Structures are given as structure tokens and as C-alpha cells.
């Protein structure tokens, strides 16, 4: 992943999908591996922004594509990072992101603003993420599947279901815990933010899947399970 520093929100590479959102100093700095100051938390709060502290080492590389000297100086001061003025073209690829210092008003035509003028106009910090459109579609479809699975009711019976001799021989764990009813979910044992084992209805293909969201992430995973694996994952 490459992180770019930009003085505008610009779609650098045709054909990609981009997401953008306002960020505060805490998130901007910590994304760059810089420890935020107590004053940064206060500044975010005063601006009505939620302070998000990203725990990560400083990524390599960080490329400045800020082509305006005053904005480069302002960005250096804001982030506590040496940000040179550079007219290097920014060409983002999927997975790259940019921290953009975006002026709240357009500068007059042909006028080169001083730092004092930039600060007088006002600015926002914006995070820009470049995404492969195919990956975005797959992520949306995955979230649809997750939502469908999490909508299943909890299996509250906990009663063992009749098992055949073959099932008894193959899976004593499932017998001890009780077989999960089709069309329900059970709490999983993993120490994750969310972990459920879902047993699908027969007309939906049957079988077991687990739905997991790790702590501190927005990523979800859906994994197919055998009956024995499902039984071993119950909380």
C-alpha cells in the first residue's frame, strides 16, 4: 500500500472506484504511523469529528504530490512530517489511499496563496481510498450474505436431536451438545467481535457456515463447515 499526500481530492486513475470521508488529525497522523498529540484529540472534538486512532507502523512509501508550497508547509505543520512540495503525478492503484488537504473555497484563478491565506480560507482533511470495482462488488455481495445469515434466529432449544448410528459413531461431540436446528444460529467460541455458527435450511442448500468479524476491523468472513467442525466451534 502506498499513501499519497494531496492538496485536493482527485480521481488519480481512471477505471477505479474511490471512497472519501472527512478525517481528523488523530486518524490522519496515526494512519501515517505518527503518534497524535493531546491537542489533536481536542481539535478533532472541537471540529465535531470522531477521533479514530489507527494502530499501525508508518507505511512505506509516503509520497507527497502536493504541488503548492503553502499547502505543503501547512501539511508538514499539521501532521508533524516533512512534506516537500512536489508535482509528482499521483497514480493510485487498488489498496492505495491518500490524505488530502482540501481547501473549503476555490482559490482565485492564477493566484498563488500564502500559508496565511490558505489558513484563512480554511481546509479539511479527507481520506481517499482507491478500490478495484470488482473487489467492491464482491465485498458488497459478501455483506449481503452476512446480513442474511445474521438474521437467522438463535437456536435456544439446546436439545439433542435423534441421531443415526452412523452419526453417533462419527460425531459424539454433536450428540453431547445437541444438533443445531436448521434455520438457526449459535454463538461461536472464537474471541472475535462477532462469531456465529449458522445452520442453513435444507431448501437453501443446508449445511453449516460460520460468520466472523474480528475485533477492531470492518472485515467479515464466511466459511463453510462440516457438522463436526460446527460442533467444535460452539461457545
| 3-class DSSP string for 165-229 | HHHHHHCHHHHHHCCCCCCEEEEECCCCCEEEEEECCHHHCCCEEEEEECCCCCCEEEEEECHHH
- What is the rounded CA–CA span in Å between residue 209 and residue 225? 5
pLDDT tens sequence across 74-113? 999 999 899 999 998 899 999 899 999 998 888 777 777 7
- What is the rounded CA–CA span in Å between residue 176 and residue 196? 19
Residue 75: helix, strand or coil by DSSP? helix
Contact indicator for 173, 232 with CB cutoff of 8 Å: yes
Which domains, and CATH codes, for the chain? 3-131 (3.40.50.11170), 135-232 (no CATH)
User: Torsion over CA of 84, 87, 93 and 96, rounded to 10 degrees?
Assistant: 20
Categorise residue 126: left if φ over 0, alpha if ψ from -120 to 50, beta otherwise: beta
pLDDT tens sequence across 140-191? 787 888 888 888 999 876 545 555 556 555 545 544 556 788 888 998 888 8
Amino acid at each position: 500500500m502506498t499513501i499519497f499526500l494531496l492538496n485536493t481530492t482527485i480521481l488519480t486513475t481512471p477505471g477505479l472506484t474511490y471512497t472519501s470521508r472527512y478525517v481528523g488529525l488523530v486518524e490522519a497522523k496515526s494512519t501515517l504511523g505518527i503518534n497524535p498529540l493531546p491537542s489533536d484529540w481536542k481539535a478533532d472534538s472541537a471540529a465535531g469529528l470522531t477521533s479514530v486512532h489507527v494502530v499501525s507502523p508508518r507505511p512505506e512509501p509516503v509520497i507527497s504530490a502536493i504541488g503548492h508550497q503553502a499547502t505543503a508547509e501547512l501539511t508538514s505543520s499539521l501532521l508533524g512530517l516533512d512534506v516537500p512540495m512536489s508535482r509528482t503525478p499521483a497514480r493510485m492503484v487498488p489498496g492505495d489511499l491518500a490524505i488530502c488537504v482540501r481547501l473549503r473555497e476555490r482559490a482565485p484563478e492564477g493566484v498563488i496563496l500564502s500559508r496565511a491565506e490558505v489558513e484563512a480560507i480554511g481546509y479539511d482533511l479527507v481520506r481517499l481510498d482507491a478500490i478495484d470495482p470488482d473487489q467492491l462488488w464482491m465485498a458488497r455481495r459478501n455483506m449481503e450474505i452476512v446480513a442474511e445469515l445474521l438474521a437467522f434466529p438463535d437456536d435456544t432449544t439446546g436439545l439433542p436431536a435423534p441421531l443415526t448410528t452412523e452419526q453417533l459413531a462419527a460425531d459424539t461431540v454433536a450428540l453431547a451438545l445437541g444438533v443445531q436446528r436448521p434455520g438457526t444460529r449459535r454463538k461461536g467460541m472464537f474471541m472475535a467481535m462477532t462469531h456465529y455458527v449458522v445452520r442453513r435450511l435444507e431448501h437453501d442448500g443446508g449445511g453449516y457456515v460460520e460468520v466472523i468479524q474480528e475485533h477492531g476491523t470492518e472485515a467479515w468472513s464466511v466459511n463453510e463447515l462440516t457438522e463436526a467442525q460446527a460442533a467444535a466451534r460452539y461457545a
